[in-house]
Amino acid sequence: MQRQDIDFTSEGLRCSAWFYPANSKGRRPCVVLAHGLAGIKEMRLDAYAEKFAEAGYHALVFDYRHFGGSAGEPRQLLDIAKQHQDWRAAISYARNRPDVDATKIVLWGSSLSGGHVIAIAAQDRNIAAVISQVPHMLGPTSGLAGGLLAGTRLIIHALIDRLGSLIGLPPHYVNAAAEPGRLGLMTAPGAAHGYLKLVPKGQAFDQRVAARFVFAAMRYSPGKYLRHLTMPSLLQVASNDLTTPASAALRSARGTTTVTVKKHNADHFDPYVEPLFSAFIAEQLDFLAQNLNALPQPTVKGNKPTVFITGAAKGIGAETALLFARQGYLVGVTDINHGDLDALRSSLGDGHFYRQLDVTKPDEFASALSDFAAENGGAIDVLINNAGIAFIDDYEALPLMKHLAVTEVNVKGVQIGTYHALPYLRKSEHPTVINMCSLSSEYGVPSEASYSASKFWVKGFTEALNIEWERYGIYVCDVMPNFVATPMMEAAHGKIVESIGVFLQAHDVSAVILKAVKTRSNVHWEVDTWRPRLLRAVSRLLPKTVRRAAIQRLSGY
């Protein structure tokens, strides 16, 4: 049967795709394919799809939003979270086709998308198999593959693009591939030739990428999810690969039980063309023949995902509880104020867990976590340490007990909750801890000395556990908003609040919390409007004395 030109939507935008029907009748497995860095489906993905179709598998090949035949402005904007969403949309499209066996979806990725398929499959246990070819696995390794000087140049261009985007300028672009010594994301010897030879003669192709992607690329290390894959997975690496070095993939695969590693004497772009194309695709077809038909039927987790939120009765906590409930989560709602809990319950409904909780009391916290987990299979998927208090005034104008109370709730509460939640988090498939931080953790803020200091602690605590608990597969991050219009802010006064203004709503923060849980990508998630964000970006480039003077002026001291 002939290739079909089809479309599907991802977050309301059209994704251009090809569907290759299997050379077999009935409901068949489907291989979903997308390209790597700035690549489009015309760059040899048709060759792979044809081979899969001949072997009896459907194949769905798509372009990401902002690239190739897909919609999305500005063009050539590479956003990892958006590309992950495009993968999910493609998978959903495939699963809903009547000619596809929805229990046998295979993900195929190469280079950057070789990392994407690992990250997606780690979150979707109903994926049947994964094929990852010459994958991007470790951000710093790939980012420095072109050398320190080249990496520094890219960071400068990325900063130009990021700052420009904050004031509405069009993207500042860099090439995806360039000759050694020239500006580009892939500059290994032979990379530019190897990349561009994949473009068919006469095919319109833009190889530029908005430079801001550099920041995301250097942080993006999907190899850490490899050990969480429960489905058969094929990892094909090239020993001469100077773009996504094989060493990173081999390290990531150590100790895994579901991953088959195949090593080839090749460079990064050899798998796409002969003579090595035939070797790579034959290996992939053998892998599917050996593993796909023997798979047991995947099961869907019977219980709802769970989230435990402190300080959840008002403001950011309440908005977050409502949002996660709409997303299908079973919510553990806790707060020190029983009356506020009852008010939220009237909106949220009885199908959730409610508990009055003083986060500074270890026994209370441990009991609440234990009871919530016991009702839901013994695991907690997400812990959100949201409870916090603030008093804004001159340091000496506030009673000492208020300063101590800030430390008790904002520091001790986070310590206690995180400590007691660990055994339940370790029973989750995708455990996450989110600590509520603040942009006041960037520089000590006059009139909020104790509050600001407590958020410095939260930031440091988060950074440490983000590294420590990675070995358990637990993602730890914090969310750092500017001033938010919540009941806590209503009592706040002082020149710093008047100077900066209150432009954020609780739902702005809850949306970022949900994004953090879904993408599991950053250590720190800033929440702010564009103008303060731009001012902060500029201030970070200035001497510390200038930053101090700016804070002093804004706070009226």
Q: Which residues contact 426 (CB under 8 A, 6 or more apart)?
A: 472, 474
Active site residue 451: yes
The answer to whether 100 and 67 have CB atoms below 8 angstroms apart is no
Alpha-helical regions (H) of 303-399 = 315-326, 338-348, 362-374
C-alpha–C-alpha distance, residues 136 and 223, integer Å: 8
Task: Write down the number of H helices and E strands in the chain.
Answer: 20, 19
Strand partners, 466: none
Q: Which helix (H) or strand (E) holds 90?
A: helix 80-95
Q: DSSP characters for 111-165?
A: THHHHHHHHHHHH-TT--EEEEES----HHHHHTTT-HHHHHHHHHHHHHHHHHH
C-alpha–C-alpha distance, residues 177 and 43, integer Å: 14
C-alpha–C-alpha distance, residues 327 and 86, integer Å: 19
Q: Which two tokens stand for residue 396?
A: 């000496």
DSSP structure class, residue 25: S
Q: Which of 20, 329, 451, 475 is catalytic?
A: 451
**In the Cβ-directed half-sphere of 187, how many Cα atoms lie within 13 Å?**
21
Single out the residue of 283, 286, 294, 282 nearest to residue 231, CA to CA.
294
Burial label, 75 (beta-carbon count in 10 A; 0-12, 13-18, 19+):
middle
DSSP structure class, residue 186: B
Q: How many CB atoms lie within 10 A of CB 333?
A: 27
Q: Which residues contact 386 (CB under 8 A, 6 or more apart)?
A: 309, 310, 311, 312, 316, 317, 320, 436
Spell out a b/e string for 404-439, using b for 16 or more CB atoms within 10 Å of the CB, else e. Answer: ebbbbbbbebbbbbbebbbebbeebebbbbbbbbbb
- 3-state percent breakdown (helix, strand, coil) of the chain, nearest 5: 45, 20, 40
Active site residues: 451
